[in-house]
Copies of this chain bind each other. A is one copy, B any other.
Amino acid sequence: MSNQLKIGLPKGSLQDSTIKLFAKSGWKINLHHRNYFPDVNDDELNISMCRVQEISRYIEDGILDCGLAGRDWVLENKSDVVEISSLVYSKVSNRPARWILAVAGDSPYRTPEDLAGKKIATELLGATKEYFESKNIDVDVFYSWGATEAKVVEGLCDAIVEVTETGTTIKAHGLRVIDEVMSTNTVFIVNKDAWNDPWKRKKIENINLLLQGALRAEKMVGLKMNMPKASLEKAMKVMPSLNSPTVSDLSDPEWVSVEIMVEEVVVRELIPELIDMGAEGIIEYPLNKVI
């Protein structure tokens, strides 16, 4: 077999959105009933689906060349790898996730210091210990399998360090957040030797380029409209296009066709403004990639 790049992708809550992101970037991944050895339409790629907690360790050891991992677990594992980019995406909110310190809503604890001598449950053992050590607070941190929120409610521990994106689960359990221990998002990490291999580096850079292009496209749309020539200059000022707008003549010399790429979230404000300036026949269309 010729050149091959071994890439690790996260199982679990990020799995579906990762596969969708790769599809938009040009790589169709097919999982089979049992997860291992997914198909991909690129003979140069070899994909492993891994637990998010373990992926950076496999890359550091060279079992994999590169992969997507949470920055939290790269740090927790103290993995010596190259981080080449950040990829903020998730199944819920496209916001970074946070590991927070939380206590029961009706507990007396208001600050990390109040927890001195108490029991803290967490899956992120190392980072949690470092957090309390850096504050010179003596606590009993212990490893917790699976979700920790209920353990506070049930009285099995006094506080937890748990990951959350929107805070919904924390709130649903009636917990109160008293500090943020770490912020995290997905990063593209590479094994040091792989990064020094020219073929692998080029391949990794291309994948990263297209992943970034697909991610950017998720937040953008194309907008096309007819505009009175008289309003063009004024309109140009309010249009936050990625590139300069494409302006084409129309058969009616008083009008031009204008096409721009904008962030989807501003469209709902922009369209009423454009209408006020006389724009007509406004259409919006979706994008796959923006590079």
Q: Which residues of A contact B (CB under 8 A)?
A: 25-27, 30, 32-37, 39, 41-42, 48, 50-51, 53-54, 57-58, 63, 92-93, 142, 144-146, 150, 153-156, 166, 168, 172-173, 206, 209-210, 213, 217, 221-222, 226, 242-244, 246-248, 250-252, 257, 261, 264-265, 267-268, 271-272, 275, 280-291
Contact = CB atoms under 8 A, between A and B. Distances in A.
A200 to B, nearest CB: 15
How many copies of this kind of chain does the complex include? 6
Contact of A33 (B32, B172, B291): B172
Given A153-B36, A248-B246, A282-B291, A272 B92 contact: no
Contact of A210 (B50, B250, B252, B268): B268
Contact of A242 (B221, B265, B281): B281
12 contacts: A25-B268, A33-B168, A33-B172, A41-B265, A51-B144, A51-B146, A63-B156, A209-B271, A243-B280, A275-B291, A283-B287, A283-B288
B286 A288 contact: yes
Contacts of A33: 168, 172
A35 B32 CA distance: 19
Nearest to A54: B145
A131 to B, nearest CB: 21
Given A48-B154, A246-B248, 10 more contacts: A30-B166, A39-B93, A54-B156, A206-B268, A210-B267, A217-B284, A243-B280, A244-B251, A271-B291, A282-B289
B210 A155 contact: no
A284 B287 contact: yes
The 4 closest A-B pairs by CB, nearest first: A26-B268, A243-B281, A284-B289, A284-B288
> Considering residues A39, A50, A154, which has the most beta carbons from chain B within 10 angstroms of its beta carbon?
A154
